[in-house]
Amino acid sequence: MASSAMISLASPSPSLSLKDKLKPKLKLGASVNQTSLFFKDSVKTKLFTRTTMAVAADVSRFENITMAPPDPILGVSEAFRADTHEMKLNLGVGAYRTEDLQPYVLNVVKKAENLMLERGENKEYLPIEGLAAFNKVTAELLFGAENSVILQHRVATVQGLSGTGSLRLAAALIERYFPGAKVIISSPTWGNHKNIFNDARVPWSEYRYYDPNTVGLDFDGMIADVKAAPEGSFVLLHGCAHNPTGIDPTPEQWKIIADVIQEKKHIPFFDVAYQGFASGSLDEDASSVRLFADRGMEILVAQSYSKNLGLYAERIGAINVVCSTADTAARVKSQLKRLARPMYSNPPVHGARIVSNVVGNPELFREWKEEMELMAGRIKSVRQKLYDSLCAKDKSGKDWSFILQQIGMFSFTGLNKAQSENMTNKWHVYMTKDGRISLAGLSSAKCEYLADAIVDSYHNVS
C-alpha cells in the first residue's frame, strides 16, 4: 500500500494548465518575448477564433449614438473657463454677478436658511404637488393675495423644478389633454423653449416678435401671426424682460394682445422668470399676467425663483393654471400631480422652504424687495454706462438708444453671427451667437472695453 501511495503521488496532476504543460519544452533562459512566441505557436487556431469572436461580441449596443452638440448657452461658459485672457467677459449665461463679477447669495436667503436650521426641519419627502406653504405664497405673489382667482380658489398650483421643469410639466398637460393643439412662440425666444416642446411632442410654430431694422418689437407682425394661428392655440408669452431681446410690449400693447387672444379663443401661456428682477417691482413685473387674469381668461403661468432670489441651483419654481371654477382647478391639479409622479415623483424641499420663509415673513419680504431693487439697479446702471460708452466711441451716428429701451438682464445688440464670433475670437467676449449679451455679467469697469468690442464688430465685420 505504501508503494501504491507513492505511485499515486508521483503521477502528473490532471489539473495542470496548458501553459504549465508546455513549460518543460521551453529552453532555459528564454526571454519573455521568446516565451510568448513559443506559446502562441503552440496554441491551436480555434483558440484564436474564439478570442476574435469574444471581442466582436463586446461592441457597445450604444455604438450608433452620436456626440450631441454643446448647449448654445451653457457651452459658452465652458469656452470662457478655458480662456486665460485677462479681459475676458462671460456675457452668455443669465446669472447675476456683483460689480466684482462674483456670484451673489442674497442676505435674505441666508437668513431664511438660518431659520430652517433653528427649527431643525427634516428632509422627508414632500407631497407630489410640493410644499403647501410655498404653493400658497407663490400664487399670491404672482396674482396678488386679494385677486379673485386666489379668493375663489381657481388657481391650480404645483411646485415644479424651477422654470424649465414647470414649463415641461405644462407641456405634458397640453400633450395629453389638448392633443394636436399648437403652441406659438416668439421669434426669437429662450433657447430651451423649443427643446421642451419637442421632447413633450407638442407642435409649435413662431410668431414675429423682433424687428432687426429697429432692434425693437415687431408689434404688427406679432398681432398678425397671433390672429392667423389656429383657434385654440397656446400663445407663449414672456411676462416681463423678454429673453433674449429684453424688449417688452407697452401696457397699451399688452391690452391689444389680450384682445386678440380672447377673440381667437387662444390660451395664454406665460413664462415668468424675472418677477421683481426686471423693474425692481414685483407688482409691475406681474402686471401683464394680472391683466389677463382680471379679464377672466384661463391661463397657464410657469414661474422661476432662479433670478429674483438667486436660487439657480435649488431648482425652485411652479406651474399655475388659472381655471374658470374651483372644481376645474382641483381636477387640473390632480392631473398635474399624476404627470409629475412618473416624471420626478416629488420636488425638492430646500428651495421651497427658502421661498416660503421669505415671502411669508413680512420682515424678510421687505428686505427681499430692497435687495431686488439693488440688483435691478445695478443692471440698469451698467446698461446706461454701456449706452454712454457706445455713443462716445461710435462716431458714425448710429442710434444706440435701443440699449436703454430694453429691460431686464439681457440686451439684444443687433450683432449677427459673424459679428458675435468676432466678439469672442478677437475680444474674448463670450456670448450667444444671436447677439444676446447678459448685462448681469458686466461690470461698470468693463463697459468701455465692451463698447470697443461692439463698435469694432458692428462696423468691421460684415
Distance CA 440, CA 386 (A): 12
- 77, with CB counted inside 10 A (0-12, 13-18, 19+), is middle
* Helix segments in 147-281, DSSP class H: 148-151, 162-177, 191-199, 219-228, 251-263
Instruction: Find where cell 420682515 sits.
Output: 363
Can 307 be counted among the known catalytic residues?
A: yes
Q: What's the rounded Cα separation, in Å, for the pair 359 and 352? A: 11
Under a CB-based contact definition with an 8 Å cutoff, are residues 88 and 428 in contact?
A: yes
What crossing angle do the helices spanning 362-393 and 350-360 adopt, rounded to 10°? 100
Give strand pairing partners of 185: 206
Of the residues 307, 333, 385, 446, only one is catalytic, namely 307
For residue 181, the 8-state DSSP code is: P
User: How many whole angstroms separate alpha carbon 106 and alpha carbon 358?
Assistant: 11
Phi, psi of 45 (to 5 degrees): -60, -35
Q: Which amino acid is at 134?
A: F
Distance between CA atoms of residues 390 and 443, nearest Å: 15
Active-site hit among 218, 248, 271, 285 = 271
CA angle 28, 39, 29 (to 5 degrees): 15
E-only strand ranges, 7-61:
none
CB-CB contact of 275 with 303 (8 Å):
yes
Active-site hit among 182, 190, 248, 394: 190
Whole-angstrom distance, CA of residue 192 vs CA of residue 120: 37
Residue 407: other Cβ atoms inside 10 A: 22
Q: ω before 268 within 30° of 0 (cis)?
A: no
Cα separation, 16 vs 393, whole angstroms: 87
Q: Is position 27 annotated as part of the catalytic site?
A: no
Q: Is the separation of the CB atoms in 39 and 58 below 8 Å?
A: no
Task: Pull the grid cell for residue 375.
Answer: 440688483
Element (H, E) at 319: strand 316-322
Q: Is 399 a catalytic residue?
A: no
CB atoms within 10 A of CB 373: 15
438 grid coordinates = 447678459
- Hunting for cell 459658452 — which residue is that? 76
As annotated, the active-site residues are 190, 271, 307
